[in-house]
Structure 1
Amino acid sequence: MEYTTVLDRLQTYVVSLFEGVSLSHLEYHNLSHTQAVVASVHKMAVKFNLNERDTFIVKAAAWFHDTGYVNGGVDAHEERGAQLATDFLQGHQVDAPTIDDIAGCILATKLPQTPQNLLQQIVCDADLYHFGTTDFFDNNKKMRKEAESRLGRKISKTEWNASTIQLLNSHSFKTDLCQKLLGQQKLINLNKLKEKETSLPVEPTAAPKKNKKADKPERGVETMFRVTSSNHQRLSDMADNKAHIMITTTSIIISVLLGVLFRMIEETPHLILPTSILLVVCVITMVFCILATRPKIPDGIFTQESVENKAVNLLFFGNFYRMPYDAYYNGMQEVMNDKEFLYANLIKDVYSQGVVLGRKYRLLRLAYNIFMFGIVVSVICFVVAAYMAQRSTF
């Protein structure tokens, strides 16, 4: 069976389900959440080295696990999602045991989660992956807004925090991988919630440094990246404009030299040397200006290993333009789900812009110096040649 083909069609189908109806009341259980769960499932499938069939099962379950919200409310949405998956997969000749496994993974996400095997554990952990990430509080706000829309009333922060604390206390990641990877951050998130509830004790954490990191002024940091990147872009545009001005200037001079003075060489042979010097100066200047503006593009390919090692900048098109969309999508999901990886990419992007700018301005400065001193030398040569020619006539 062509799992990749069916998965592509499945993805298109689920996206059309979410986009085909008005789901403005779903602040959290929407297409973005589904895509994040798929990305987390993919990450775990790679870590657990799942075979092609098992990878298909967990990814298909991830895509369908919240589709029950499309044709109903929160109650029994897992059952509706499993039925939608079953109907779709039967229409694409997927075998019955595989369909049953996919439905089982979807039903296992029902709270309290009760997974019976590794595949169900992977989907359950992917569904609540954000419990152990720094994005927890953003997602928690979305869940609160969605609950308010569903209940038709406002939910106080105290009431919501209490219910969220209860949920986190009762929850545990099912796979050893997520326990190790997300457990500490989940504890930090829980403690922050408890700090807001003075009646509840705060458990000590073993990672105070992470709290300091989480307390960084994120808006200020993001503003810094945005302003720096914008400034670099303006400097790059200025460098390109300077190069274009010089290219235009030297082109005009070269055209004049080739079109006018060379026809006068027989009559004025004494101008051969200064004309040749000026021509060489203009050509060299133009070459350096072209080098300053000529784009340098990498091979446009990255590997899954480079993503896992956080060794690739996915914000620069030169690192992914030859990659298939799915590979880039999965890579970007890993970037977005890992704040450290995200900021590392932003830092690399700013640094790379700076390296390119440094090269541009070095070449431009060299071109301007060559042109400036070359023009001076050429003019002096013209004056000397004219003077010598005048003396020879007497």
Structure 2
Amino acid sequence: MSYTGLLHKVKDYALLYYKTHADDRLVYHNIEHTENMLTAATQIGNHYQLDERKFFIIHAAAWFHDLGYMVDMQRHEEEGAKLAANFLKQYDVDPQIIGEIEGCIIATQMPQSPKTELEKIVCDADLFHLGTDDFFKTDKQLLKELSTVHGIEMSKNEWRKKSIRFLEAHQYHTDYCNVLLNSGKQKNIQILKDKLAAYEAKHKLSPGTLAPQPQTHHEVEIEEPKKKKKEDRPDKGIETMFRISSGNHQRLSDMADNKAHIMITVNSIILSAIISLLLRKLTEYEYLIIPTFILLAVSLLAMTFSILSTRPSIPKGTFQRDDVDQKRVNLLFFGNFYKMSLDDYTYGMVKMMEDKDFLYGSLIRDVYAQGVVLGKKYRLLRNAYNIFMFGLIIAVLAFVIAATVNNAKDKH
């Protein structure tokens, strides 16, 4: 199955459906929201390094999840799932894949209740904006949609209270979104609370005065957060960046180790077969000597490079207090302190925690060092795979040529 080609058909179908069933009242649940959700789903999916099949599932679910609004607004998740199932069945898509897409769409129903990894990704992509500055724009759109579609009129203050309750009750389901977006969501909650407190203080009634009439969204604008000053340091964003970068490096390192393990295992089997079967038969089949030793050399070289890619390299494990004072040592890597006393290590850590430049400098060095090690590991691993791939081809050709030549000799 070509997931890419099928996803293009899904996209064309969804875009045409939005065009032919357009409802101007849907200012939130529209194509813009769907496209934003797709961007978020791609971002989360890339973090978890999903394969082509899983990417197809979350993208198809994102395209179909809100189409149901143009069928039945009260049961739009169910209708969206039906549209997805009916469309995909036309292309003989695996029923299991269709079921997973339906599950992802149904999981977005409030309150969200995802069970699988893909359902969690789709749910978090659907409400990704809650932890970004785009929240205030979408919050305003949702208020307008409630008024025009459902006839619900609500004052600015009432809507703020409702938004605060919703944000406080909501939780992201993936670790990635929890790390990336929770601080932004808390910031949005605080902005709403500050505006709510300011509004209530401004409209505090004195005895004998009439209460002001509640304002609707037609009369007021939901204010957006002030832009950050250039001099403000986005500490939370920086820490999140380092955490995600370090986590990505660790996952890539684990993947490299797994690939090396596969290469070592395969070549161990080949070497065992050569030693136990072929070598003892070479006196009988002399024409196989050269191909056998080619295969033996290929397996040994591929295994050697694979082992080198996983072989640990540990520094001396000591540092001087002067290194700490001059900010020359990275105390976030165990190889720089494992032979030091606890007092010296504590001295260095306290110094680093008290100095933001030292702390961020250590984080930069740590991420850089991880990248250098990762580059070396993947370079050795690539050499191992190249040797194995091309060497195996050469060895097989050598066996074929040797057998052909030997058969020709026998005929003569």
What TM-score do you get using the length of structure 1 for normalisation? 0.51
Secondary structure, in 3 states, of the residue corresponding to 1:23?
Answer: coil
Secondary structure, aligned partner of 2:197? coil
Q: Tell me the C-alpha RMSD between the 2 structures.
A: 2.2
Correspondence for 1:155 = 154
Q: What is residue 136 of structure 2 aligned with on the other side?
A: 137
Instruction: Name the structure 2 match of 1:35.
Output: 35
1:107-145 residue CA offsets vs partner (Å, 9 max, x unmatched):
000111110011000000000000011111011100110
Alpha-carbon distance in 1 for matches of 2:15, 2:181: 28
1:33-72 correspondence runs (5 A) = 33-72=33-72
Answer whether contact 1:17 1:70 (CA < 8 A) is retained: no
Structure 1 residue 21 displacement after superposition: 2.1
2:16 corresponds to which residue?
A: 16
Structure-to-structure mapping, 1:123-272, within 5 angstroms? 123-198=122-197, 213-214=227-228
Partners of 2:157 and 2:199 within 8 A in 1: no
Distance 1:200 1:166, change over 3 A: farther
Q: Which residue of 2 aligns with 1:89?
A: 88
Shift of 1:70: 1.5
Deviation at 1:212, TM superposition (A): 6.8
For 1:40, the aligned partner's letter is A
Structure 2: distance between partners of 1:141 and 1:214: 21
What SS does structure 2 have at the residue aligned with 1:172?
coil
Instruction: Give the counterpart letter for 2:24 in structure 1.
Output: S
8 A Cα contact 1:134 1:214, kept in partner = no
For residues 198-245 of structure 1, give each alpha carbon's deviation from its aligned partner in whole angstroms, at most 9, with x where no partner exists: 2999xxxxxxxxx874478xxxxxxxxxxxxxxxxxxxxxxxxxxxxx
Aligned equivalents of 2:107, 2:28: Cα separation in 1: 19
Q: Which amino acid in the other structure matches residue 55 of structure 1?
A: F
Report deviation, 1:72: 2.1
CA distance in structure 2 between the aligned counterparts of 1:174 and 1:163, rounded to whole angstroms:
22
Which runs of 4 or more aligned residues in structure 1 lie more than 3 Å from their structure 2 counterparts after TM superposition? Answer: 211-216
Distance 2:79 2:26 in 1: 17
Task: Determine helix, strand or coil for the equivalent of 1:142.
Answer: helix
Q: Provide TM-score, normalisation by structure 2.
A: 0.48
The residue identity in structure 1 corresponding to 2:13 is Y
Give the paired residue count: 208
Contact 1:168 1:190 in 2 (8 A): yes
Secondary structure of the 2:93 match is coil
Match of 2:375 in 1: none
* 3-state secondary structure, aligned to 1:97: helix
Distance change in 2, residues 1:107/1:153 (3 Å): closer
Q: Cα 1:215–1:193, aligned 2, differ >3 Å: closer, same or farther? A: farther
In 1: Cα distance, 2:107 partner to 2:152 partner: 30
When residues 103 and 215 of structure 1 are mapped into structure 2, their CA distance, relative to the original with a 3 A threshold, is farther
- Give the residue type in structure 2 aligned to 1:66: D
Report how far residue 153 of structure 1 moved. Answer: 4.5
Cα distance in 1 for residues equivalent to 2:117 and 2:198: 38
2:4 is matched with 4
5+ unaligned residues in a row in structure 1: which ranges?
202-210, 217-304, 309-394
Q: Cα–Cα, structure 1 residues 134 and 59, in superposed 2: closer, same or farther, change >3 Å?
A: same
Contact 2:61 2:122 in 1 (8 A): yes
What SS does the corresponding residue of 1:85 show, helix, strand or coil?
helix
Shift of 1:92: 1.2
1:106 is aligned to: 105
